[in-house]
Amino acid sequence: MRDCLNKVIEAIKDSDLSPLPPNREMLIRSGWTKHIGTMLDGTVVIVRQIALEHSHVLIHCSDGWDRTSQLSSLAQICLDPYFRTIDGFMALVEKDWVSFGHRFRDRCGFLGSDKWFIEKKVSPVFHQFLDATYQILHQNPTRFEYNERFLRRLLYHLYSCQYGTFLHNNDKERHGARIQEHSRSVWDYFLARREMWINEKYDPAADGADREREIGGGRVLFPKTGAAIRWWEECWGREVGEMNGSAISLPATNFPEEGDGSRTGGGGGRGTSPLPGWQSGTAAGSDKGIEVEMM
């Protein structure tokens, strides 16, 4: 992910100040959608092994709190309709991200000082996960209880620091800082406004009866990748035609298989600043060399 977000922000920033559309060529060269597609490719491998081959799957990487959380969470969303409900998605984030120790402080630059950026730890790992979730939702609009606005608002509150859910790197640090005494959970915010996040196209019957493991038209989703990956234009505060218009053909570009993070994040509306927490410099991602083993 080296410099990916930097390039996306560079491509869209002028359209905040002028009638010019985002630079489509620069958007493609950023490699952002390629990384989202690679993540979904790995998800398909996991889902296929579990749902079709009835195999156990071991997901592992260097540290276990970046790419592991991404792939594990996306696979569960595809395999189990519970995680496509509002309550289920909140439980999934608490389980596979907050409790499992994703380093939100390091990755998002919270409570930051120069040393966090010198060490190049900032990386949009959770942002990528939400983007990939949006791709699956967009491809299967009747299978999700929550809507795109739910994901977008969650991304906003990832950086707002209004709630304690995403502060610090793990539960031990949050307990030591007495986060539960000094702040509220972000889920209180979402539960108090549940009607805002309901997907009007949601059809629970499409997933069949509880505990069914049907494949054809059943509970399991297989994300489409390649040309099916689109820009999440609402995340970047743009119109659909600005970022998902006609395709542009470019020479093939070799991107790193597992790269580093970047300094900037997308804001929540046209003319807004990048997400808080991103600073100058290149930020490294961890969990390089992720592998999926079938057992």
- Point out the catalytic residue in the list 4, 61, 78, 235: 61
Residue reference for tokens 């120069």: 114
The reply, when asked if residue 3 is annotated as ligand binding, is no
Contact 274, 266 (CB under 8 A): yes
Q: What is the pLDDT along the chain (295 residues), one digit of tens a residue?
A: 657 877 888 888 888 788 888 888 889 889 999 999 999 999 999 999 999 999 999 998 777 678 899 999 999 999 999 999 999 999 999 999 998 888 888 888 776 656 555 456 778 899 999 999 999 999 999 999 999 999 999 999 998 989 988 888 888 888 888 888 888 999 999 999 999 999 999 998 888 765 554 544 468 999 999 999 999 999 998 888 888 875 443 444 443 333 343 333 333 334 333 343 333 333 334 444 445 554 4
Amino acid 111: pLDDT: 64
Report the amino acid identity of residue 132: A
The reply, when asked if residue 80 is annotated as ligand binding, is no
pLDDT tens for 93-114 read 999 999 888 888 888 877 665 6
Amino acid 76: pLDDT: 96
The pair of structure tokens assigned to 118 is 């010198």
DSSP notation for 132-166: HHHHHHHH-TTS-SB-HHHHHHHHHHHHH--SSTT
Contact 168, 179 (CB under 8 A): yes
Amino acid 249: pLDDT: 39
Amino acid 86: pLDDT: 97
> pTM higher than 0.75 for the full model?
yes
Rounded distance, CA 88 to CA 2, Å? Answer: 32
Contact 220, 79 (CB under 8 A): yes
- From the list 122, 107, 135, the residue with the least C-alpha distance to 221 is 135
The pair of structure tokens assigned to 195 is 């009607």
Report the amino acid identity of residue 263: R
Amino acid 121: pLDDT: 78
Rounded distance, CA 227 to CA 180, Å? Answer: 44
pLDDT tens for 149-159 read 999 999 999 98
The pair of structure tokens assigned to 93 is 């984030």
The reply, when asked if residue 65 is annotated as ligand binding, is yes
The sign one gets for the Cα dihedral 101, 148, 183, 115 is positive
Amino acid 78: pLDDT: 96
The reply, when asked if residue 18 is annotated as ligand binding, is no
The reply, when asked if residue 67 is annotated as ligand binding, is yes
Rounded distance, CA 144 to CA 85, Å? Answer: 6
- From the list 18, 16, 36, the residue with the least C-alpha distance to 269 is 16
DSSP notation for the chain: -TTHHHHHHHHHGGGGTSSPPP-HHHHHHH-HHHHHHHHHHHHHHHHHHHHTS---EEEE-SSSSSHHHHHHHHHHHHH-GGGGSHHHHHHHHIIIIIITT--HHHHHTTT--HHHHHTT----HHHHHHHHHHHHHHH-TTS-SB-HHHHHHHHHHHHH--SSTTSSSSHHHHHHTTHHHHS--HHHHHHTTGGGGB-TT--GGGG-STT---TTTTS------GGG----TTTTT--HHHHSSS----------SS----S----SSTTPPPPTT--SS------TT-EEEE-
The reply, when asked if residue 61 is annotated as ligand binding, is yes
Assess whether 61 carries a catalytic annotation: yes
